[in-house]
Amino acid sequence: MTSAEPRRRSWPGLAQLVGPALLAALVGAWSITRPALWRDESVSVHFAREPLGDAWREWGEVDAVHAAYDLLLRLTIWIDPVELGVRLPSLVGFVVATVGVVLVGRRLMGRTAATCAGVVYAILPVTSRFAQEGRSYALVSMVAVLSALALLRMVERPSPGRVVAYSASVAVLGCLHLYALLLLAAHGAYVLLAARQIAREVALAWAGAAVVLLPLAVVAAGQRAGQLGWIRRPGLSELRGLVDQIGGTDVATVGLALLAVSGAWVLRRSPLPLLWAVLPVAVSWLVSQVQPVYADRYVLYVVPAVALLVGAGVDGVARVLGRGRPVALGAILVVVALAVLPGHRDIRAPDRRPDDLRSLTRDLAAEVAPGDAVVAVPASFLKFVDAYEGPFERLVVAQADSVPVAAERVWVVTRGYPSHRGAPELARLNRDFHREQVRSYGVTSLSLWTLRTPSA
């Protein structure tokens, strides 16, 4: 064998990594700046922009679970202060996760099936949706994939270095989102079912990660009411919503489900993807019947496992067709891509985020006058809407009960359509001002109040 032969053999393997990665980069970057920032992204922008000392003090009171992501965002927000810079870390995380799906797949199934899984992950609407969101969820999925890869490497050959790598991945996962640690239910079940020989190493890795995460967990526990107060007890409809979100359309959802079931059968001797896809969601949903913590975006790190199952299913169906396997593989993936295409168009529509802060800021900039004040209800809501800055820098920020005497006009921003009559925090506004107009920008509303004349 010549020295050139190993290199020639390595090229197909490299292409099977680069191809899905490029596809993910193209799909994730497609219209990434078109949807406006929404209120959750605005909070990330707020923490990324403010002085580190101020941010640190705020994290001690709220949003400590997102501090690691907000710190990372400081590195990219200078590239572009709005959509591109805010969403770039998520796009990178999406691309890396796609490569990771292929690498995990190679350890569980053939290279062809692994590549199919990477392609599927790259073209799912839900992965693009969160590749285009300035929050931690795409990065959480990335680290979930890397932790699975680290776990499988420990199974292949346990060593101190590999134990440390797995422990570090678990610690980073928890730093990005504590509730993502529910993934360890799947890891633990996999070890018990198929890899008991590394149970001791896994326990040591978890213990090391726990030491790192303990301070964050203590702080986050004190913030739980404010962080999770909006979550309600989930029903079966929430589980259906997660499934629908993965497919994007009814046709795509049914097709992907059939392929995933086929893939679960193909991988019946390698249970990690099935455990990963099911257990974190099931545990979160069951816990939420007592203490609500379930939200679909909190469990999006199961989507790579779904892609692995679907990839195995695609390859399994193609194998049944025998000699026409390459053509069948391509045909199935093209059909999947066409089925999910409407979902991609939907998530990229300008009005498909819960809020349209770009339009709110544009309208406010066109009408704000010198001396105008702005009031947020509650006061902390201002950081949910000022991502685009602009007019907010020209407004006097005030509390609802202490509007400056000189202010003749007050802009009020709040979540939901406002019902200001009788609101105790707006007692002074109701007494001294008249509400002129109310506009809704998704869930967020903006209203203008003008000072009453003596005759009014």
Amino acid letter for position 174:
G
Residues 89 and 227 both lie in one domain? yes
Mean per-residue pLDDT, 313-342: 88
Give residue 1's pLDDT: 45
Residue 416 lies in a domain: yes
Reading the block at residue 40, the tokens are: 């959750």
Mean per-residue pLDDT, 187-200: 95
Residues 308 and 379 both lie in one domain? no
Could you give phi then psi for residue 374, rounded to 5 degrees?
-130, 135
Q: How many CB atoms lie within 10 A of CB 235?
A: 12
Highest mean pLDDT among 140-144, 238-242, 332-336: 140-144
Distance CA 173, CA 144 (A): 7
> Of the candidates 86, 110, 92, 109, which has an alpha carbon nearest to the alpha carbon of residue 24?
92
Give me the chain's average pLDDT, please.
Answer: 89
Residue 194 lies in a domain: yes
Give residue 197's pLDDT: 93
Give residue 182's pLDDT: 97
Residue 235 lies in a domain: yes
Residue 352 lies in a domain: no
Reading the block at residue 129, the tokens are: 């949706």
Instruction: Specify whether the CB–CB gap between 282 and 337 falls below 8 A.
Output: no
282-293 per-position pLDDT tens digit = 999 999 999 898
Distance CA 430, CA 307 (A): 54
Last residue of a domain, one of 347, 376, 409: 347
Distance CA 114, CA 256 (A): 16
> Of the candidates 268, 263, 270, 267, which has an alpha carbon nearest to the alpha carbon of residue 194?
270
Residues 271 and 381 both lie in one domain? no
Residues 251 and 379 both lie in one domain? no
Residue 269 lies in a domain: yes
The whole domain housing 140 covers 4-347
Instruction: Specify whether the CB–CB gap between 32 and 91 falls below 8 A.
Output: yes
Mean per-residue pLDDT, 49-67: 89
Residue 217 lies in a domain: yes
Residues 61 and 209 both lie in one domain? yes
Q: Which of 53-62, 170-179, 296-305 has the lowest mean pLDDT?
A: 53-62
Taking CB atoms within 8 Å and a gap of at least 24, the contacts of 7-12 are 12/111
> Of the candidates 443, 444, 413, which has an alpha carbon nearest to the alpha carbon of residue 429?
413
Give residue 420's pLDDT: 56
Residues 303 and 441 both lie in one domain? no
CA dist 332 to 20, 105, 325, Å? 16, 18, 10
Amino acid letter for position 370:
P
Last residue of a domain, one of 306, 322, 347: 347
Q: Which of 169-178, 301-310, 363-372 has the lowest mean pLDDT?
A: 363-372
Residue 456 lies in a domain: no
Report which secondary-structure segment, H or E, holds 438.
Answer: strand 433-441
DSSP 224: H
369-398 per-position pLDDT tens digit = 998 989 888 888 888 898 887 888 888 888
Backbone torsion region of residue 396, taken as left when φ is above 0, otherwise alpha when ψ lies between -120 and 50, otherwise beta: beta
> Based on the structure, what is the number of domains in the chain?
2
DSSP 157: S
4-52 per-position pLDDT tens digit = 545 555 666 787 899 999 999 999 999 999 999 999 999 999 999 889 9
Could you give phi then psi for residue 407, rounded to 5 degrees?
-70, 125
Residues 92 and 182 both lie in one domain? yes
Token look-up 């290279």 returns 111
Reading the block at residue 120, the tokens are: 């599927």
Distance CA 129, CA 35 (A): 10
Residues 200 and 327 both lie in one domain? yes
pTM above 0.85, yes or no: yes
Residue 181 lies in a domain: yes
**DSSP helix/strand/coil, 450:** strand
Residues 130 and 91 both lie in one domain? yes
CA dist 66 to 60, 109, 264, Å? 11, 35, 34
The pLDDT-based confidence of 90 (bands split at 50, 70, 90) is: very high
Residues 320 and 381 both lie in one domain? no
Give residue 231's pLDDT: 83
Report which secondary-structure segment, H or E, holds 390.
Answer: none
pLDDT at residue 93 above 60?
yes
- With 0-12 / 13-18 / 19 or more C-beta atoms within 10 angstroms meaning exposed / middle / buried, residue 245 is buried
Reading the block at residue 213, the tokens are: 């995460």
Distance CA 181, CA 170 (A): 7
Last residue of a domain, one of 347, 368, 396: 347
- With 0-12 / 13-18 / 19 or more C-beta atoms within 10 angstroms meaning exposed / middle / buried, residue 274 is buried
Helices (H), 267-372: 272-287, 303-320, 325-347, 357-367
Residues 395 and 343 both lie in one domain? no
Residues 329 and 363 both lie in one domain? no
> Of the candidates 340, 305, 333, 338, which has an alpha carbon nearest to the alpha carbon of residue 317?
333
Instruction: Specify whether the CB–CB gap between 142 and 96 falls below 8 A.
Output: yes
Mean per-residue pLDDT, 85-95: 96
Give residue 283's pLDDT: 97
> Of the candidates 408, 442, 398, 437, which has an alpha carbon nearest to the alpha carbon of residue 420?
437
